[in-house]
Amino acid sequence: MLNLAFARMRCTDMLPGTLPQFAHLHPNVKINLFEGTSDENDRRLLDGQVDVAFYSHPATENPLIAYETIDKEELLICTAKNHPIGRFAQENPDGWPSLDPALLEKETVILMYPEQRTRQMIDALVFRKV
């Protein structure tokens, strides 16, 4: 039995590409999945309910948990093509224009739940909340 925890919305992103391959390579391993906030999954790790958890890296590491970065993601800001904030975007060699996140401080922004770690990182980066 392998108990895995995922941050909310990570299951739909990570599992379709990895679970079938894992099941093919390890047909005798039964997988039990948990989904919750990163903080909930930290508690599951510490309580021994799960063996591994997948989520965004915390701002402050828990010394009782071993962390390993397996990938990095970009934060994309999506606006209407003619939105006035677009005039501040700077071209980059990678093809995506970049924007200083601090410019969004007074904008209406649709975000995920406050308890989600990605949201906490955005709050700290854009709105200077910790």
Residue 30 lies in a domain: yes
Give CA–CA dist 44/36, Å, rounded: 10
Residue 26 banded pLDDT, cuts 50, 70, 90: very high
Residue 105 lies in a domain: yes
For residues 89 and 49, state if they share a domain: no
Question: pLDDT of 35-57, one tens digit each?
Answer: 998 889 999 999 999 999 998 88
Instruction: Find how far residue 43's CA is from the centre of its chain.
Output: 17
Residue 39 lies in a domain: yes
The range of the structural domain enclosing residue 9 comes to 2-54
Residue 82 structure tokens: 């003619």
Report the number of distinct structural domains present in the chain.
Answer: 2
40 in Cβ contact with 46 (< 8 Å):
no
Tokens 């003619």, residue located: 82
DSSP one-letter code for 33: E
What amino acid occupies position 103?
L
What pLDDT does residue 42 have?
93
Residue 70 lies in a domain: no
CATH number of the domain residue 25 falls in: 3.40.190.10
Model pTM? 0.70
Residue 15 lies in a domain: yes
Residue 60 lies in a domain: no
